[in-house]
Amino acid sequence: MVRLISITGNSMSPTLRHNNLILISKRRKIVANDVVVVNTNSSGLIVKRVKSVSGDFMYLVGDNPRLESSFCNSKMSINAILGVVFMRIDINIVEFLGKKFLVPINFSLL
């Protein structure tokens, strides 16, 4: 199954930016450098890069060296992964006749 998710925040910049859309899919094997969407109990969904995998656990990092996250370098269960990011969609928000529309301007495979 493929899911569409909107990015909020800049912890994964420059790879992913605020208001990007991403497509994710489930994958059985998670490896280092995958960009994943993780469901956390305390903060909802987060998007991070897999730093390393050890058995059923992983360590995550953000791509933006200027921003720290409490989830980075913490041991997390691989079972919390909703999916692996495989496409980024850059969008513009366009107003037309008083309504706002999302207009895709670029598609990038990750």
Torsion of CA 42, 6, 109, 75, to 10 degrees: 0
Question: How far is residue 41's CA from residue 100's CA, in Å, rounded to a whole number?
Answer: 32
pTM value? 0.88
Find the largest Cα–Cα distance for the chain: 54
pLDDT digits (tens, 9 = 90+) for 40-97: 988 899 999 999 999 999 999 999 989 888 888 888 999 999 999 999 999 998 999 9
At residue 45, the pLDDT reads 94
